[in-house]
Chains A and B, each alone.
Chain A
Amino acid sequence: MNSLLNYIQHNGSDILSALWQHIAISLVATIITILIAIPLAIALINHRKAGEAVLQVASVIQTIPSLAILGLLIPIVGIGTVPAIIALVLYAIMPVFSNAYAGLTNIDPLLDEAADAFGLSRRFKLLKVQLPLAMPMILTGLRIAVVMIIGTATLAALIGGGGLGTYILLGIQTNNNNALIVGAVLAAVLALITSALVKVLSTVSPRRLLTGAAVVLLLGGGIYGYNAWQSSRQETVTVAGKMGGEPELLINMYKDLIEQDNPNVHVQVKANFGGTSFLFKGLRSGKIDIYPEFTGTVLQSLVRNGGTVPHNPQTAYTHAQKLLSQQYQLSYLPPMAYQNGYALTVRADTARKYKLKTLSDLKRVPQLKAAFDPDFYQQADGYPGLQKAYGLNFSSVRTMEPALRYEALAKGHVDVTDAYTTDPQIREYKLVVLRDDANFFPPYQGAPLMRNDFAKKHPGIVRSLKRLRGKVTTKQMQELNYEVTVKHEKASTVAHRFLVQQGLIKK
């Protein structure tokens, strides 16, 4: 509980801005939904067959998983808030349309006839008879849609749309319950409040409702316009990062370096932007300008390279750089020093006892008990390959959830586990990483990736980022990760402090 309050205190302004972002996305999606669904329902009042058809289509759209819709939209509209809003609108149209349509078409036929019989104009009939009578149904649909939009908007974080989902994803990725609770609880509370608000709106007279809506629109538009005007005065460069604390640290370093050297450039940081493919597509389509990528990931998942991954880090980088430029016209700047690849770790006392330094040393101690992440245990570049390369033969090997294996190791239930080399738990539990002396694991070095045309146009930015070449050792990265994901310090603060310490930037 205390740590939760602490977390909120430390990240208060970020949480608030995520909340605003969430509200903004939801509001825009709701308004667009209303503007589409309700006029459509009105237009189709006297075309029942077309109305039914629209209803069917909307229902079908709703059965498509939201993640799939987001995926489908990326090649068309890119990433960020736009596809998130489109996906939300596609979802919300169904409840709003179906309720509005049912409300408008199920008006007591006697009242419908009365409106006709007195020679009312179509507009008068619509505004004074049909819409008011359908209003309870319309508002019911709206409530359902708003609650759904607010809930589903958490997925926007997956494609860099921001909002409260950022905290939920962050919480899951970094095993940070506080972030998870903040994101989930705020989203739920927001949904409840909005639902209640819509209910209250149903008792307000239509004229006031319209005035209120106009005020909200004007205010929202004004704020949006002001922000857009503000940001248009500087060149904005978007730097995004994958889920987790480490990429967030890296992109904040990029930001500080770029902004110090190029005062007319404003760097927009999009942390926890999503998975590899989201970022790669976003970079290629120009939605983002720079993101840090690992050499190993480039060679294994992004480029076609005939399946071979060089084990020498330097060769791997030059190979990746060449292929990215050839196949995708991307510039891959020189990597930092640290490696965030697979490794095996043991407790310090085990290492001392058996004099373990390298993976080859493990061959001498088959009596050790090993526990591996299920993926690592199965993949060819995981334990099976490792076994062959080093001739390992542990007496006891079992699989264990990634989150549990460090604790099991620290408590002495097992002796050897797999790890990522920059995991903060290595520092937290003072574990020993065994050297991959046969160069079995592919190298995973982080380096900035950008489009060739961007690099050509911004030599200053390229120069700034090149200053990170060979900087940040694996140990330093562990320490930085520890500060962000275990001690929950802000990534921007930690990154800035580090750069100052290293003399890369002035205060």
Chain B
Amino acid sequence: MIEFTNVTKTYAGSDALQAVNMKVESGELFVLVGPSGSGKTTLLKMVNCLNTPSTGTVAIDGVDVSSVNVRKLRQEIGYVLQAGALFPNMTVGENAAVQLLAQGWPEAKRRERVRSLLKQVGLDPDIFMDRMPSELSGGEAQRVGIVRALAVSPKMVLMDEPFSALDPLSRRQLQDLVLRLHKELDTTIIFVTHDMSEALRLADRLAVIHEGVLLQVGTPTEILAEPANDFVASFFDDDAKQRHFLTQVVAAGFGRPVQGGETVLPASATIYDWAALLRDQPDAVVASGKTALAPADLIAFMATLNGGVR
């Protein structure tokens, strides 16, 4: 568990971060999202001491990071940077093994570990081990970047806008990779992005930061359904438009008062959740707040949507 307590950061008299308090649970894929300059990267770098809070503390499993040996701390945390940031003078194999080397692994073990990880991220080690970074595509380079971060089987991986320079297709593939690896490896991942759809796609939970202020922490659906303020709402506006909540169906005038016996869905439920339910129980009536909605209401609501639901 990573705990940020009253973290502030002041640059030249102005606040880059204001009294941030939040917790990242172990094993979580936690996304820090916000426009550029919001302070999300600053917050991320405080975890491995690339940046230090002006006041407040960052603690991993109850231990303040400022109280431990920095090199030792960093050797146990994976880090993925923008566009891979591979060392151009080293081969893929050498790049991926950098942290293993820092930890003092013997050569044969390093090679073995890197080869198996390359396979895991979909790169054939026979082909890629001895390539130079300049011979890789952006997507391949970032896969190697991920291998480098995962090499020491860290309890925690920090990712700083890792896919922002990639084309949409590669970005999607790498997002899938991150989701898959997260499931397979049981690692805490803190992922920084300014792209809200990426945040929504990846996050177990996400934190919205704007101008150094932590606005909201929650699951994607919680945030979409009940944005804490106008900024959060507008930030996710484009995505929210493509999502439709039961609350919207009720607001559109459908349904009847709850009588009991309906399947109660949470306030954050979308019409997709509803549709998924109907696939199994075609006659189910669901409740949202004090309103009950019948299957026919779904069809009628969808008919009102311009262009239909995508």
- Where the two chains meet, the residues of A that have a C-beta atom closer than 8 Å to any C-beta of B are 108, 110-111, 113-121, 124, 128-129, 132-133
Contact = CB atoms under 8 A, between A and B. Distances in A.
A128 B85 contact: no
A121 B77 CA distance: 15
A118 B87 contact: no
B87 A119 contact: no
B244 to A, nearest CB: 41
A118 B74 contact: yes
A121 B79 contact: no
A124 B99 CA distance: 11
B92 to A, nearest CB: 15
26 contacts: A108-B85, A110-B83, A110-B85, A111-B87, A111-B88, A113-B85, A115-B87, A116-B50, A116-B74, A117-B48, A117-B74, A117-B77, A118-B79, A118-B98, A118-B102, A118-B148, A119-B76, A119-B103, A120-B98, A121-B71, A121-B102, A129-B87, A132-B89, A133-B87, A133-B88, A133-B89
Nearest to A122: B71
Contacts of A117: 48, 50, 74, 77, 79, 81
Contacts of B81: 110, 113-114, 117
A422 B103 CA distance: 80
A115 to B, nearest CB: 8
Contacts of B213: none
B73 interface: yes
B75 interface: yes
Nearest to B76: A119
A113 B50 contact: yes
Interface of B: 48, 50, 70-77, 79, 81-83, 85, 87-90, 98-99, 101-103, 148
B46 to A, nearest CB: 13
A119 B102 contact: yes
A388 B148 CA distance: 94
Contacts of A118: 74-75, 79, 98-99, 102, 148
Contact of B74 (A119, A124, A132): A119
B93 to A, nearest CB: 14
B79 A120 contact: no
Contacts of B83: 110
Nearest to A118: B99
Contacts of A129: 87, 89
A119 B88 CA distance: 18
A112 to B, nearest CB: 9
A61 B203 CA distance: 60
B71 A119 contact: yes
Contacts of A121: 71, 102
Contacts of A115: 87
Contacts of A111: 85, 87-88
A113 B85 CA distance: 9
A496 B72 CA distance: 77
B231 to A, nearest CB: 29
Contacts of B71: 119, 121
B101 A124 contact: yes
Q: What 4 pairs between A and B have smallest CB-CB spacing?
A: A119-B74, A119-B75, A132-B89, A117-B79
Contacts of B101: 120, 124
Most buried by B among A108, A113, A114, A133: A114
Given A110-B83, A116-B74, 18 more contacts: A110-B81, A110-B82, A110-B85, A113-B85, A114-B81, A114-B87, A117-B50, A117-B79, A118-B102, A119-B75, A120-B98, A120-B101, A120-B102, A121-B71, A121-B102, A124-B101, A132-B89, A133-B89
Nearest to A116: B50
A117 B101 CA distance: 13
Contacts of B74: 116-119
Contacts of A114: 79, 81, 85, 87
Nearest to B94: A128
Contacts of B87: 111, 114-115, 128-129, 133
